[in-house]
Amino acid sequence: MKLFKIIIFSGIFGAIIGYGSINYLHSKMEKELLTYLILNAKVKELEDIYALCDGLLKTNPTSKNLGACETISKQVNNLTKDIKNKCPYINFYTSYIGEIE
């Protein structure tokens, strides 16, 4: 009987801790969502521009076009770093938990 009580108590305690952790992560992600969506939209826009620039570079390889493509690539990298710094909980979810699912 004592073992049964320990198992029940452990299960209830684990469920409460799990529920609290999920709610904490959800609330933090909810606060970051607007920032994430704005930065992610900018990254996608710059990636589209980079694809056009890359096509232009392949058809007309000049130093001006190369410089423009490199600038766009740096901007994408900077925005990606900003997303990781400004949205750590969403980054954690998309990097680790999203892979598990």
Q: How far is 62 from 100, CA to CA, in rounded Å? A: 44
Residue 98 clears pLDDT 70, i.e. is over it: no
What local confidence, expressed as pLDDT, does residue 48 receive? Answer: 93
* Relative orientation angle of helices 63-86 and 2-59, to the nearest 10 degrees: 170
Residue 89 and residue 1: Cα distance in Å, rounded? 42
The pLDDT assigned to 36 comes to 92
Tokens of 49: 């521009």
pLDDT tens-digit profile of 57-97? 888 888 888 898 899 999 999 999 999 999 998 888 888 77
Task: Give the pLDDT of residue 99.
Answer: 63
pLDDT of residue 25: 86
